[in-house]
Amino acid sequence: MKIKKSTVILLIILLLYTIVSFYKLGRNKNPQTFVNLKNEEQLTYELPENTIPKEVTLYTGNDVLYLTFFLTNEYQNFDAYDYDCSYESEYVFRWHKYSINDNDNTYKYIMLQSYWDSTTIGELKIYDVDGKEIQLIPMGEREKNLLDEQDTVPTEFSYMNSSYFDEVYFPRTSYEILNNLPIYEYTHPPLGKLIIAIPMTFLGTTPFAYRLMGNIAGILMILVIYAIAKTIFKKEKYGLFAAAIMALDGMHFVQTRIGTVDSFLVLFILCSFLFFIKYLKVNKDENLKKMVTPLILSGIFWGMAISVKWIAAFAGLGMGIIYFIDYLKNKRWNIKLLMFSVLAFVIIPILIYVLSYVPIILNPNEGITGVKSFFEYQKKMFEYHSKLEAEHPFTSPWYTWPIMQKPIWYYEAYFENGKYGTISGMGNPAIWWLSILTALFTLVHFILKRDSESMIIILMILSTWIPYAFISRIMFIYHYFITLPFMMLTIVYAVYKLVEWKPKMKHIITLLTIIFLGFFIYFYPIYSGLPVNRKYVDKTQWFDTWIY
């Protein structure tokens, strides 16, 4: 059987993106056993004779770190300790390094004492004044649990072995769901965290495991937008162009490689939109089954999107408007179709949403269980988002997102070789800035020509973006992530119209793809955290608001 050229090109796009996205996604080796210390609980270790403890490396578990180190020469007489220092950290599943002795004295014992009711530690290693590892002698059984995975202690700390940005929320909650612990992050529905938890069940709680499903979702998004563009514009080359655009965008690359739930949100929205487009393409004179099947599938994926984040409702709003425009245009009252539509976009999504809460409702340690728990969570979520008055240096208003005025800075690390690693939630400037022009072109074309393709794309852009104008809480550029695929489709739409008008311009697809690739390569260290010379990073900061 002969394989089509377009299929080969699509597979190459997917393969290359898969290789790049999995490259240094995260280490799959971190501590899996933890000690939880209640307030004033201690762990004590004996130090070898004539030892000068200087530095400690430790790994935090699923809770915060509030810890005091005591150095003493008298066992269990801590009223007579000689030196103490305290440290705090809100970061979970992260390696830390602290100085513990600034007087260069020898000590016989080191004690760790929590001053919080849920300090969680996974592993511990102490170094002497010369940077050599000290062989600690545990003074009890619990102490041994912090020395049982010493081979996991890294020499350098980075995103490869530690959580960063909002990974302090989502993987933590996935871990807590898996272990029937009280749930920390309740501000979004559970489905995304349940998906993150799938590989954690088999691989443990590691950066690779809790980023794996999001990265897979990022790969699938490329395939789905290919199918969407191919369906809308009826030619393989436009599907391939859409796939290339998404594969070369920085925001897509960054957001799908971090252990948060936005990958699943956008994937499910795109899947819902794909089947919705297929429904629109069905001739309304066809039998009911041909219309209902894609409609039901669209509703299922929309229900899954809502079960990840409420903002999927914006996409549902856009599809709802388009649905009724299409329905009225056909000038035919079809009560059966309306009933199946209610099933697809009301009953099924509600069912999926409620079922996503089952693991939490059944959690014996959640305090409130059962049906009451479900409604309590909805109330808490609404109150959180409606009353949030937090501040953040990287917040940005909705109308600045398309021009990429202020990217959000996720991560930085300094390395012993002088290199610097950073990750910024920013897009590919060539794609984002061109999409502003092509979106305006699509809007004007819709106003003048009223063709269905431009109408659908413009309504999806407006419905997923403009509602943010009425939200008072702080927002960030990554909230634009659900609008971005539809902005990308305006690039495809503009090129489609240009090539259909002037067939000799068909090479513009190749030219634009090369330009997008060049920008992606240039900004790759900023997207990926790849250690580079700091001067290189400085050259990519084209504006004062591009801080990373």
pLDDT category at 391 given cuts 50, 70, 90 is: confident
For every residue of 97-147, DSSP letters joined together read EEE--SS----SEEEEEESSTTEEEEEEEEEETTSPEE--EESSHHHHTTS
Question: At residue 345, does pLDDT exceed 90?
Answer: yes
Looking at residue 240, its pLDDT comes to 98
What are the two backbone dihedrals, phi and then psi, of residue 24, each rounded to the nearest 5 degrees?
55, 45
For residues 344 and 287, the model is more confident at 344
Looking at residue 439, its pLDDT comes to 98
Domain membership of residue 65 (yes or no) is: yes
Indicate whether 116 and 197 sit together in one domain: no
Indicate whether 184 and 288 sit together in one domain: yes
Indicate whether 12 and 44 sit together in one domain: no
Question: At residue 144, does pLDDT exceed 90?
Answer: yes
Indicate whether 145 and 202 sit together in one domain: no
Spatial distance between the Cα atoms of 197 and 191, rounded to a whole number of angstroms: 10
Looking at residue 387, its pLDDT comes to 81
Looking at residue 364, its pLDDT comes to 78
CATH number at residue 116: 2.60.120
Indicate whether 266 and 341 sit together in one domain: yes
- Among 1-10, 33-42, 362-371, 435-444, name the one with the lowest average pLDDT: 362-371
For every residue of 150-173, DSSP letters joined together read GGG--SS-STTTS--GGGGTHHHH
Residue 15: its H or E element: helix 5-22
What are the b/e assignments for 68-97, b being 16+ CB within 10 Å? bbbbbeeeeeeeebebeeeeebebbbbbbe
Q: Do 293 and 244 contact (CB within 8 A), yes or no?
A: no
Question: At residue 77, does pLDDT exceed 70?
Answer: no
Q: Count the domains in the chain.
A: 2
Residues sharing a CB contact under 8 Å with residue 259, sequence separation 6 or more, in sequence order: 163, 167, 170, 171, 196, 207, 210, 211, 214
Indicate whether 129 and 264 sit together in one domain: no
Provide the residue range defining the domain that includes 42.
Answer: 35-153
Indicate whether 280 and 429 sit together in one domain: yes
Q: Determine the Cα angle at 472 with ends 193 and 318, to 5°.
A: 65
Spatial distance between the Cα atoms of 296 and 272, rounded to a whole number of angstroms: 9
Domain membership of residue 374 (yes or no) is: no
Residue 87, helix vs strand vs coil: strand
Residue 48, helix vs strand vs coil: coil
Looking at residue 330, its pLDDT comes to 79
Residue 264, helix vs strand vs coil: helix
- Residue among 111, 173, 162, 171 at smallest CA distance from 136: 111
Domain membership of residue 381 (yes or no) is: no
Give me Rg for the CA atoms of the chain: 27
Spatial distance between the Cα atoms of 38 and 519, rounded to a whole number of angstroms: 51
For every residue of 302-321, DSSP letters joined together read HHHHHTT-TTHHHHHHHHHH
Domain membership of residue 94 (yes or no) is: yes
Mean pLDDT of the chain: 94
Give how far the C-alpha of residue 126 lies from the chain's centroid of Cα atoms, to the nearest Å. 34
- Residue among 166, 205, 160, 201 at smallest CA distance from 184: 166
Average pLDDT over residues 528-543: 97
Domain membership of residue 383 (yes or no) is: no
Spatial distance between the Cα atoms of 357 and 373, rounded to a whole number of angstroms: 9
Indicate whether 63 and 108 sit together in one domain: yes
User: In the chain, pLDDT over 90 holds for what percent of residues?
Assistant: 82
Indicate whether 120 and 185 sit together in one domain: no
Alpha-carbon distances, residue 117 vs 36, 113, 140, 186 (angstroms): 9, 11, 20, 21
Residues sharing a CB contact under 8 Å with residue 485, sequence separation 6 or more, in sequence order: 221, 225, 228, 246, 266, 269, 270
For residues 75 and 39, the model is more confident at 39
Give how far the C-alpha of residue 293 lies from the chain's centroid of Cα atoms, to the nearest Å. 31
Q: Do 489 and 457 contact (CB within 8 A), yes or no?
A: yes
Question: At residue 536, does pLDDT exceed 80?
Answer: yes
Residues sharing a CB contact under 8 Å with residue 190, sequence separation 6 or more, in sequence order: 173, 177, 307, 356, 357, 359, 360
Question: At residue 80, does pLDDT exceed 80?
Answer: no
Residues sharing a CB contact under 8 Å with residue 393, sequence separation 6 or more, in sequence order: none
Spatial distance between the Cα atoms of 58 and 125, rounded to a whole number of angstroms: 6
Spatial distance between the Cα atoms of 259 and 261, rounded to a whole number of angstroms: 7
Residue entry with tokens 């030219």: 511
DSSP-based helix, strand, coil % in the chain, nearest 5: 55, 15, 35
Domain membership of residue 369 (yes or no) is: no
Question: At residue 541, does pLDDT exceed 80?
Answer: yes
pLDDT in tens, 425-459: 999 999 999 999 999 999 999 999 889 999 999 99
Alpha-carbon distances, residue 457 vs 78, 124, 174, 328 (angstroms): 68, 54, 35, 19
Residue 88, helix vs strand vs coil: strand
For residues 190 and 332, the model is more confident at 190
Q: Taking the CA of residue 145 as centre, how many other CA atoms within 13 Å lie in the half-sphere pointing to its CB?
A: 14
Domain membership of residue 167 (yes or no) is: no
pLDDT category at 79 given cuts 50, 70, 90 is: low
**Token pair listed for 266:** 């956008």
Domain membership of residue 494 (yes or no) is: yes
Burial of 197 (0-12, 13-18, 19+ CB in 10 A): buried
Question: Per the confidence metrics, is the pTM higher than 0.75?
Answer: yes
User: In the chain, pLDDT over 70 holds for what percent of residues?
Assistant: 98
Indicate whether 41 and 18 sit together in one domain: no
pLDDT in tens, 201-237: 999 999 999 999 999 999 999 999 999 999 999 999 9
Pairing of strands 35-37, 109-114: unpaired
Indicate whether 350 and 422 sit together in one domain: yes
Indicate whether 119 and 220 sit together in one domain: no
